[in-house]
Chain A
Amino acid sequence: MTKRYVMVIDLQVCTGCNTCSVACKQENNLPEGVWWTQVVTLGVNGNDSPAGEYPNLFMDYLPLGCQHCANAPCVEVCPSSATTRTEDGLVIQDPTLCGGCRYCMLVCPFTGVRVFAGETLRYSLPFPTGDNPIVHRPSTVEKCNFCAHRLARGLLPACVEACPMVARTFGDLNDPNSEVSELLRTRPHFQLLVEKGADPSTFYLT
């Protein structure tokens, strides 16, 4: 049986610290302004502002990146075959093939999981960081690839490894003995925008 890699994120323990975002940025040598994963504060416009009305205020977080949908429309519409789905369920975006048409961004059911890299790419550091050999190109679309380069070496995605709260679990959903299968069997969970029919591979534990 082929694998189906999924990400399970425990919203009960996520503190919105954005370590995952930074680890991703470092691992993938992302240019300024480009984020492949981010943590959204729910119920408000902006980050780290409380929602609700005083004294009943709360802050809930939602880590958000490409959902690696099983029925990903982005794969079907890409004219240059830059967006593909691997046998084990990763939706990969190859910037060397991307023609910058943005069709993948337009058809993605989720807002903010893809980034259109600007005409000029700038980096905060004068040297590349991380182990992803990707070459970023201006005017192309980028997104999370579940750290495929790390998976190929038997490692976990950088965000999973870095999370100080161990909120993220990654594994094969088709393996009934995997930790992700166990979590989804025993904990209440949801997928985002399930009514869109894309069947995301990111699950949120509640």
Chain B
Amino acid sequence: MNPSVVSDPLQNAFGILAQVAEDRGRVYRWLSLGFYAPDEVLVEALRQGAVKQELIQATAWLGMDQRRLLDCLDGLGARADTSLPQLQDAYESLFGKSVARIPAREAAYLWRSVTHPVEVSSELNRALINIYGQYGLKPRPDAEDSLPVELEFLAYLCQLERQTWQAGTSKTARELRRQERAFLTDHLGRWLPEFCQRVEEGARPSFYSVLSALALRWLKLEYGPGYPSPLS
């Protein structure tokens, strides 16, 4: 059998992975947007079902494992009638200035095991600023370790990865994929499980309980072997 046209397997592979990196970036971007203070853009996307629709498309590459996310995605789809004031109320009561709030910042989950929490917090911020700085990014001061910023950073890395696969520079693309995984190991993965567990336990069924469940399942899929259990 001698086919007249033989394709280049590497070019095909790079094209597939560019699309996957783009899709993974879209998931991180929606998660990030969801955990920022709610705005009209988010409400409109929920109203039109765009969040669910886009996330279904962006996770199709998981094949059978996409099923692990589907009930969360359905949950987001069912939030079409959520208004901005409702979202703002839920956001404030969970993450705002209330006494019972659930901190959406990495530092809050690392303090308990150290003697000098303030030092550790500033050390963490310095480390994060350094990591972001390597990619020319500078988040809003005092937001370096916040959940939406860490998620947005991963979305950015995925975007860079997509570009490098498209350019055929596989060595850089592989390095970026390792950086994404390292960021999960060193930062997001260390505290997101506990955060999500607290939101799921503490919140009445709401957009944020669904979003947390989705974030947790996505993290598990992204993390692969050695996934940490929640600390508490």
| Chain A interfacial positions (CB closer than 8 Å to B) | 69, 71-74, 76-80, 98-103, 106-107, 109, 116, 119, 137-140, 190-191, 194-198
Whether B177 is near chain A, meaning CB under 8 Å from some CB there, is yes
Determine how close the nearest CB of chain A comes to the CB of B67; give it in whole angstroms: 13
Give Cα A77–Cα B12 distance, bound, in whole angstroms: 11
- Chain B 147-179 against A: per-residue CB contact (8 Å), 1 yes, 0 no? 000000000000000000000001001110110
- Chain B 1-42 against A: per-residue CB contact (8 Å), 1 yes, 0 no? 111011111101110110010000000000000000000000
Q: Are B227 and A69 in contact (CB under 8 A)?
A: no
Q: Are B178 and A79 in contact (CB under 8 A)?
A: yes
Which residues in A have their C-beta under 8 angstroms from that of B2?
Answer: 194
Which residues in B have their C-beta under 8 angstroms from that of A102?
Answer: 62
Which residues in A have their C-beta under 8 angstroms from that of B178?
Answer: 79-80, 99
Q: Is the interface of B mostly helix, strand, loop or mixed?
A: helix
Give Cα A47–Cα B27 distance, bound, in whole angstroms: 37
Known contacts A101-B181, A107-B9, A194-B6; 17 additional CB pairs below 8 A are A71-B10, A72-B9, A73-B9, A73-B13, A76-B170, A77-B173, A77-B174, A98-B224, A100-B224, A100-B225, A107-B12, A139-B223, A195-B3, A195-B5, A195-B7, A197-B8, A197-B9
Taking CB as reference atom, which chain B residue is nearest A71?
Answer: B9
Which of A99, A139, A194 has the largest number of chain B CB atoms within 10 A? Answer: A99
Taking CB as reference atom, which chain B residue is nearest A116?
Answer: B65
Give Cα A140–Cα B174 distance, bound, in whole angstroms: 17
Which residues in B have their C-beta under 8 angstroms from that of A79?
Answer: 174-175, 177-178, 181
Whether B61 is near chain A, meaning CB under 8 Å from some CB there, is yes
B interface bracket (residues with beta carbon within 8 Å of A): 20 to 34
Determine how close the nearest CB of chain B comes to the CB of A40; give it in whole angstroms: 18
Give Cα A140–Cα B225 distance, bound, in whole angstroms: 6
Which residues in B have their C-beta under 8 angstroms from that of A73?
Answer: 9-10, 12-13
Given contacts A77-B17, A80-B178, contact A194 B12 (CB under 8 A): no
Give Cα A75–Cα B205 distance, bound, in whole angstroms: 45
Determine how close the nearest CB of chain A comes to the CB of B89; give it in whole angstroms: 36
Give Cα A116–Cα B63 distance, bound, in whole angstroms: 11
Which residues in B have their C-beta under 8 angstroms from that of A198?
Answer: 9
> B177: which of A72, A74, A101, A116 is its contact (CB, 8 Å)?
A101
> B20: which of A80, A106, A140 is its contact (CB, 8 Å)?
A106
Taking CB as reference atom, which chain B residue is nearest A140?
Answer: B225
Given contacts A76-B13, A107-B13, contact A101 B8 (CB under 8 A): no
Q: Are A107 and B6 in contact (CB under 8 A)?
A: no
8 closest cross-chain pairs (CB), A and B:
A100-B224, A107-B13, A73-B13, A79-B177, A195-B3, A79-B174, A197-B6, A73-B9
Within 8 A of A (CB), among B87-135: none
Which of A98, A101, A190 has the largest number of chain B CB atoms within 10 A? Answer: A101
Which residues in A have their C-beta under 8 angstroms from that of B170?
Answer: 76-77
A to B CB contacts below 8 Å, 28 in the list: A72-B9, A73-B13, A74-B13, A76-B170, A77-B13, A77-B14, A77-B17, A77-B170, A77-B174, A78-B174, A79-B175, A99-B225, A100-B224, A100-B225, A101-B177, A101-B181, A119-B220, A138-B225, A139-B225, A139-B227, A191-B1, A194-B1, A194-B6, A195-B3, A196-B7, A196-B9, A197-B8, A197-B9
